[in-house]
Structure 1
């Protein structure tokens, strides 16, 4: 009695098919390409997927460097306020402002500001990149070499002019601005070049003072 189901007999040598062989080659080639592309994507994106170096932004006191003392003699902390909180996608940190004491002093009035925002958690580096790109989108912004992971400088007009520098270091965005009067009467501000130099000096000192 024959069993109703009979296993098919597999020939000892499989019949060859050029179409199947070509398809196998295509699939293997595609897999190889995907492996290479995937490896490159991982290498390029690995830092973005990491949380970054900073769990929190430094406080204003960390920005009180020798550069600040030289650019704003006798400075006083005029502003120290938090920026954002744990609910904000861009992160959280501090905004700080220092200025020469009011009244008739021995130095020409000057001021400096610092904004520092950390973006902890997965994707923090990417968030800091977005913060940097958004803030430095000014058409007049120019790249600054050898400062953080990326940096740019621009001149802020209107009100009291100032030079500014934005820096990204891992998952941290940092921005410094500097302005000063050209004389004691505060009729004019220092020229653009001096303001830009001051802002960059402050930025380099602030980055150098970062922990770790």
Structure 2
């Protein structure tokens, strides 16, 4: 009589692992640090070159390590757009302008989704998992996704307010600090709340 060996279940990746681990967090911060350091030493043109070179080097390193290159490519594209804006205006602080206004745009979109009763956290998660729209018929599930979506709104508004204030004060160095400090750390908070909303909604729907 043959015995069936129990199948080993692979643990779900943590939030940090989904971001590329500690290396992914560091890689995301490096171009901004390189830009500010380059601006202090070489001026705007040198800062742009250093930031772009750093982003390209990160992409090459990830490729050589056979890691996912898509985040690095997306990051490099964002750095290139930010550098182009700074080059066109001739102001180093404008390197951060795209991210500042993107925070406001995202805050408006996420808030609008709650007001329209289609909270984006619920829409995105259930669409990616093919779960349909049953969660919208459960009032408590809908409220849970409202809370998660509004957490993202708070994160985006906080980023916009703080970084816009630093931008208006010509604090380029502190803009880099704010971008890093208000980047992944605040995103982790929003993802934790989203994880709670998903688990809560699943329990609600499975009990029906």
TM-score range, shorter chain: under 0.3
The structure number with the bigger radius of gyration is: 1
Q: TM-score, normalised by structure 2?
A: 0.24
More helix by share: 2
